[in-house]
Amino acid sequence: MFAAPVLHSEWIKIRSLRGSLGSLVAVFAVTVTVTVLVRAAAGHTATDKGDDPLFGAFYALTFGQVAALAFGATAFSCEFRDGALCVSLAAVPGRTRFYVAKTAVVGVGALATGLVTTFVTFLAGQAFIGSDALGLGEPGALRACVGGGVYLALMALLAAGLTAVLRSAVAVLSILVPFLLIVSFVVGDVAGTAADLMPDRAGQQVLHQHPSGALGPWSGLAVTAAWTAAALLAGWWAVRRRDA
Amino acid sequence: MTSIDIQQLTKEYGTRRAVDRLTFRVGPGRVTGFLGPNGAGKSTTLRLVLGLARPSSGTALIGGRPYAAHPRPLHVAGALLDPRAAHGARTARDHLLALAVSNGIAVRRVDEVLELAGVATVADRRIRTFSLGMRQRLGIAAALLGDPDVVVLDEPSNGLDPEGIAWIRELVRDLARAGRTVLVSSHLMNETAAFADHLVVLGRGRLLADTPMREFLDAHSTRRVRVRTADPDRLHAALARAGHTVARSGDGHCTVDGADAAEVGAVAAAAGVPVLELRDERASLEEAYLALTADETEFAATPLQEA
């Protein structure tokens, strides 16, 4: 019943920190810029013949997701410096209420930014291709735009939950970024089904026009959502149980 | 009015008892000084009172219920715990605004407390540019945001200049005069003596004293009289006959332990000795406090041994 003031308060905390607000803007700016630059430079050839052209349209999301992780991590890590959590919990002593409000603001912020990012990326990128361009009416295109936005929000929340457990954005980002960008990328093509269940690979199924492998577009996103839910539950437990 | 009630409060970290079966009450309308050596458990107690840490056993209530059970707690109690806690990248105004909004406090109150704490001119600067003293003032502004009945300040004079310290002194007195419950922890005795009406003293997590300031001074200091006379020899003899021990100093003064001015004056009058100066010497709060906590200091330096 006191949800609205706490949500508003958490939004003020995020928008008043350059780091948090900056990473949210970077999700959009990085993804769209990389897409436009790559398309402008390479044009049609950017998409290999054999690859899924729809997935190729979201190539730059690999970079945008790092900003999403940074957003989720910094939005929480600011509470774990120099007793800031004491001030926050003195104002909102209900730990669950505090955690849910913060998570909701991170999730909604990332989802809104994510959706704008995927739609703009898709439309702007296709504008460079000419006659072979995909439209939103293309099978799977709308699903990929919506799913991609959800994917970015899930990534931000994954980082947020882990930060609540580890209490440090640096620790979380130095685990997640190598894990998602390197391990999954290297191992990905080699190992079969196990790598398909990694949070990033599973979730990115939704960006393919014709997803290959065991997971479909939505079931893949559901696997990522399960990873995120696990991180958020662990974070909830940590915030509730630990002394501030 | 609202008071703080602490009952059998205990907090253990592993095998160490930071707070050990504390029971005391902090009443309204007076400033309660919260004293104790470093590591005595003062800050832990304050954190337990504010629901930031969970007690191992016992209770700490504000206005009859746990702090966390108040729906808009900043209206009930305001606290300054750690001046570094405000995020350096935010402006002072945004820091207070986020707190105010969470408790349904009017936005104009943010400007009021910024003004009250003397940081209105730097309200839109990032907190990382603040000195420790300015951060203390911002922390006090945050504590007063909800116009609470209970104000808890942990070492508020840290980092403040003399003007700031005088400001704190007046502020806590004004708050108490307005009927509020004011608890101020400190390790600065002269400071505490200047504003506290009541004292709660901790040592190694246990309660050592919970008394009015005046009683504390009387109980923990020896009575002593300083007297100057034109005829020290006769006065000494008279005092010795009356059973007093006299310590003599070079310049014609002497001090009489365990007596007060009335007794010494009567002895001198009976002996017909002219007295030039006569006054009670009272121990300072610092002396009284050190006498009480001598055995309870966790981190004490041993005097350097002469070879």
Place of tokens 């009289």: B225
**In the predicted model, is pLDDT for residue A51 greater than 90?**
no
Q: Is A12's CB within 8 Å of B97's CB?
A: yes
- Mean pLDDT to the nearest integer, A148-162: 97
The angle formed by the CA atoms of residues A125, A131 and A134, to the nearest 5 degrees, is 50
**In the predicted model, is pLDDT for residue A33 greater than 50?**
yes
For residue A89, list chain B residues with Cβ-Cβ distance below 8 A: 51-52
**In the predicted model, is pLDDT for residue A193 greater than 80?**
no
The first and second tokens of residue B252, run together, are 């014609």
Q: What is the pLDDT of residue A50?
A: 52
Question: A97: helix, coil or strand?
Answer: helix
Q: What is the pLDDT of residue B303?
A: 62
**In the predicted model, is pLDDT for residue A80 greater than 70?**
yes
Residue-averaged pLDDT of chain A: 89
If contacts are CB pairs under 8 Å, which of residues 82-101 in chain A contact chain B?
Answer: 82-84, 86-87, 89-94
Residue A2 confidence class, pLDDT cut points 50, 70, 90: low
Which H or E element spans position B276? strand B275-281
- Mean pLDDT to the nearest integer, B129-138: 94
- The residue among B216, B303, B227, B295 whose CA lies nearest residue B260 is B227
* Contact (CB, 8 A) for B56 and B99: no
**A56, A58, A60, A66: CA torsion to nearest 10:** -130
Q: Which is more confidently placed, A24 or B158?
A: A24
**Interface contacts A/B by beta carbons within 8 Å:** 87
Q: Which is more confidently placed, B139 or B307?
A: B139
* Contact (CB, 8 A) for B120 and B109: no
**In the predicted model, is pLDDT for residue B222 greater than 80?**
no
Residue B307 confidence class, pLDDT cut points 50, 70, 90: very low
- The Cβ of residue B306 has, within 10 Å, a number of other Cβ atoms equal to 4
**In the predicted model, is pLDDT for residue B138 greater than 60?**
yes
Q: What is the pLDDT of residue A43?
A: 62
Q: Given CB atoms, is A13 within the 8 Å cutoff of chain B? A: yes
Q: What is the pLDDT of residue B298?
A: 58
Q: What is the pLDDT of residue B83?
A: 87
Question: Which phi and psi angles does B201 have, rounded to 5°?
Answer: -120, 130
Question: Which phi and psi angles does B296 have, rounded to 5°?
Answer: -110, 5
* Contact (CB, 8 A) for B105 and B74: yes
Q: What percent of chain A has pLDDT over 90?
A: 62
pLDDT in tens, B275-295: 888 888 877 788 888 888 776
C-alpha distances out from residue B228 to A17, B245, B270, Å: 67, 15, 16
For residue B95, list chain A residues with Cβ-Cβ distance below 8 A: 16
- Mean pLDDT to the nearest integer, B176-201: 92
- Mean pLDDT to the nearest integer, A121-136: 84
**In the predicted model, is pLDDT for residue B299 greater than 70?**
no
Q: Given CB atoms, is A7 within the 8 Å cutoff of chain B? A: no
Place of tokens 């940081």: B119
Q: Which of B68, B101, B142 sits opposite A87 (nearest CB)?
A: B142
For residue B142, list chain A residues with Cβ-Cβ distance below 8 A: 87
Place of tokens 């997640």: A176
Q: How far is CA A146 from the centre of its chain?
A: 13
Mean pLDDT comparison of A106-120, A194-208, B237-251, highest-scoring range? A106-120
The side-by-side arrangement of strands in the sheet containing B275-281 is: B246-248, B253-257, B224-229, B275-281
For residue A5, list chain B residues with Cβ-Cβ distance below 8 A: 101-104
Which amino acid is present at B272?
Answer: G
Which residues have CB under 8 Å from A192's CB, separation 6+? none
Which amino acid is present at B9?
Answer: L
B→A interface, C-beta within 8 Å: 47, 50-54, 67-68, 70-74, 79, 81-82, 84-87, 89-91, 94-95, 97-99, 101-104, 142
The first and second tokens of residue A42, run together, are 């390479």
pLDDT in tens, B26-61: 999 999 999 988 888 999 999 999 999 999 999 999
- The Cβ of residue A153 has, within 10 Å, a number of other Cβ atoms equal to 26
- Mean pLDDT to the nearest integer, B89-102: 96
C-alpha distances out from residue B80 to A29, A234, B126, B185, B238, Å: 40, 30, 19, 10, 56
pLDDT in tens, A89-104: 999 999 999 999 999 9
Residue A49 confidence class, pLDDT cut points 50, 70, 90: very low
